[in-house]
């Protein structure tokens, strides 16, 4: 039911970090420009007193979507590895600080982060479950790039989902063009020879 001219609004039961931002990114990768994330997700919708339903709508089928998947927005592990020695400011990690520093690791077999990455927990981009104003986000996110153009930046997380939420925060801040290391920490660890850092 989605064609090239369809306005798509995606949301989830969290603040967009559960899956909505990931779907926003995936739709952008196939060339769909008319896609937005509902700021604050279902919780904000309900808090505003707007209607919800348990009914499943009937959506007329459309021809196959004519988009093509643009891999230029996806960063490979090889590219990340090649840039590990670069000065910080090109790789932003959206995981909580405890996971980034290697103090806890509830999912993956090894704790820590990619050397040179800068930690930007996704919760810092939000206030009451919604994105902070663009000027506030830009004032905090731009310095993390250490003078680099946003298009030189790469975002990651544990599995590539909340990285998309950080990518969306950069877009809200007017810092356009960052890319996603979709494999993120879980993918990084598939090759034991890749370096791991711990601490701040």
Among residues 23, 122, 156, 157, which one is catalytic? Answer: 157
**Tokens 């993956």, residue?**
108
Report the interhelical angle of 134-141 vs 162-172 (nearest 10°).
Answer: 110
**What CA–CA distance (Å, rounded) separates 151 from 27?**
19
**What CA–CA distance (Å, rounded) separates 56 from 75?**
36
Choose among 28, 195, 31, 23: nearest CA to 110: 195
Q: Is residue 164 flagged as an active site residue?
A: no
**What CA–CA distance (Å, rounded) separates 148 from 151?**
8
Task: Tell me the two tokens of residue 185.
Answer: 């920490």
Close Cβ partners of 133 (under 8 Å, ≥ 6 residues apart): none
By annotation, the residues acting in catalysis are: 157
């Amino acid at each position: 039911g989605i064609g090239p001219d369809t306005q798509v609004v995606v949301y989830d039961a969290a603040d967009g970090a559960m899956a909505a931002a990931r779907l926003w990114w995936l739709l952008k990768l196939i060339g769909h420009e008319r896609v937005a994330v509902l700021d604050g997700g279902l919780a904000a919708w309900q808090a505003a007193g707007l209607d919800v339903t348990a009914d499943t709508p009937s959506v007329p089928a459309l021809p196959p979507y004519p988009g093509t998947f643009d891999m230029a927005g996806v960063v490979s592990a090889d590219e990340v590895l090649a840039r590990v020695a670069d000065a910080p400011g090109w790789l932003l990690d959206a995981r909580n600080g405890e996971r980034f520093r290697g103090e806890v690791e509830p999912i993956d077999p090894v704790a820590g982060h990619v050397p040179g990455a800068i930690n930007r927990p996704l919760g810092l981009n939000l206030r009451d479950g919604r994105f902070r104003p663009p000027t506030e986000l830009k004032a905090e996110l731009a310095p993390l790039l250490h003078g680099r153009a946003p298009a030189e930046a790469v975002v990651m997380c544990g599995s590539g989902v909340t990285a998309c939420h950080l990518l969306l925060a950069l877009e809200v801040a007017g810092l356009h063009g960052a890319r996603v290391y979709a494999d993120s920490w879980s993918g990084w660890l598939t090759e034991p020879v890749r370096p791991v850092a711990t601490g701040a």
